[in-house]
Structure 1
């Protein structure tokens, strides 16, 4: 399969589809087009009977630095803000919308929406030196779209600590409450390959059943939370645009 965005590599081998963000010059930042292409590619992998397991990874120095701030800085009208929020929501929802296991292979850094994307996957394998976090608050941005997923994954107390102060934390710290797993050795790629092969060996219908049971316990609450998060994201973008215009006057 070919991606409709050349900044997203698609690699197939032995029932495992690797989707690799390939925008290293921008730290694999997610602009609207790349976010849409990745969401589409995850959905396509879910519909492809030859694919048993999906792996998300990043080229270059890290997984993803999150949303493309240069793009978001240009958003100034409600329609554009709403469209951008919805594209990001679709991406963050995508790993949970398919029946197949999705593994995030994280090295270097996973920040903001990049961290949320990794934590939206079924398994998150991080190198021990990887840095994760949600620095949006340091830039006066409410990390609205990532909140529902992080609360679901980490619980409200830990989620507040992770989101409210913008602190960057290590993969080793994230492994303590079970947000991520560390590779058996120092090589995350080999560990992910092993896990993917083990999962791919199971009957797809059994994997789908397990994933559905794990994911559906509070999906209705998650959907409502994401509806509210989209609206907050739009309001936040427009507020920042107004502030930027006023500062320039």
Structure 2
């Protein structure tokens, strides 16, 4: 369990392996950020392929860890850890190809939305269930994947959509059977690594420089509203209900 990192012919495979659904702990988010940063700084690496083992690509933060920790340390840690991991993908010195399967939820949207290229397995669904947990976040990254009004609907309803819709919008490069996602990502990666490492790294930096939205500042703004909701008490009740597998009380 944890992370697996291998590099061959300029392609770095970074695999998340956190059963049962690849929900990351606070430490896990920071470790992922460090691994992404290190991979990008490795002069032998031309592309990073980020994928996951087991069930689902990523189910966001480990809510059980958060509810089993006294005070707000886990909450603050999860928010900072997510920001670090999302930022590490965005700032990675080489392109990051995100390979998704089964489902992408919450923090997984942040990873997916900040990546450069996406390959998905057929039947994959993506969603932001944050409002169910009394939280907000990663709409910044969802907005990089879907049109504005669809993004709003997904945030308000917490309902997922099939990745085939993203392929139709051009956000996802290819949707293929599950056993073909890694070979497909490797094919795209080889089409990148055939070019000068220096040129590709400059291209990544330049593309980030012309982005119309500052993703770090935008996500930080979202986090501020999440902290307000936590102070109100509604978030704790929603997370307790999730852990206890019951319906939350909606007194507010």
Cα shift readout 1:215-240 (whole Å, capped 9, x = no counterpart): 22247733322222232233334432
Q: TM-score, normalised by structure 1?
A: 0.86
Deviation at 1:152, TM superposition (A): 4.0
Deviation at 1:185, TM superposition (A): 6.5
Select the residue among 156, 159, 168 that pairs with 1:167: 159
Q: Secondary structure at the match of 2:195?
A: coil
Cα shift readout 1:172-216 (whole Å, capped 9, x = no counterpart): 112122221224666111101111111111111211222223222
Cα shift readout 1:51-99 (whole Å, capped 9, x = no counterpart): 1110110001221122112122235534443232111111111111122
Q: Distance between the aligned counterparts of 1:162 and 1:81, measured in 2?
A: 23
Deviation at 1:169, TM superposition (A): 1.0
Paired residue for 2:9? 14
After the TM superposition, which of the residue ranges 115-124 and 33-42 deviates more from structure 2? 115-124
Aligned positions, number: 238
Paired residue for 2:204? 211
Paired residue for 1:227? 220
Paired residue for 1:3? none
The structure-2 alpha-carbon separation of the partners of 1:232 and 1:116, relative to structure 1 and needing over 3 Å to count, comes to: same
Counterpart contact for 2:51–2:98, Cα < 8 Å: yes
Counterpart contact for 1:118–1:124, Cα < 8 Å: yes
Counterpart contact for 1:75–1:241, Cα < 8 Å: no
Counterpart contact for 2:109–2:142, Cα < 8 Å: no
Q: How does 1:74-153 map to 2 (within 5 A)?
A: 74-75=68-69, 77-137=71-131, 139-144=132-137, 146-153=138-145
Unaligned runs of 5+ residues in structure 2 are: 242-248
Q: Distance between the aligned counterparts of 1:131 and 1:100, measured in 2?
A: 27
Q: Secondary structure at the match of 1:154?
A: coil
Select the residue among 31, 35, 38 that pairs with 1:37: 31
Unaligned runs of 5+ residues in structure 1 are: 1-5
Q: Secondary structure at the match of 1:176?
A: helix
Cα shift readout 1:104-134 (whole Å, capped 9, x = no counterpart): 0111111111132122110010012111111
Paired residue for 2:246? none
Counterpart contact for 1:7–1:21, Cα < 8 Å: yes
Q: TM-score, normalised by structure 2?
A: 0.85
Q: Secondary structure at the match of 2:143?
A: helix
After the TM superposition, which of the residue ranges 236-245 and 177-186 deviates more from structure 2? 236-245
Counterpart contact for 2:99–2:120, Cα < 8 Å: yes
Q: Distance between the aligned counterparts of 1:176 and 1:119, measured in 2?
A: 16
Q: Distance between the aligned counterparts of 1:230 and 1:184, measured in 2?
A: 34
Counterpart contact for 2:146–2:166, Cα < 8 Å: no
The structure-2 alpha-carbon separation of the partners of 1:195 and 1:169, relative to structure 1 and needing over 3 Å to count, comes to: same
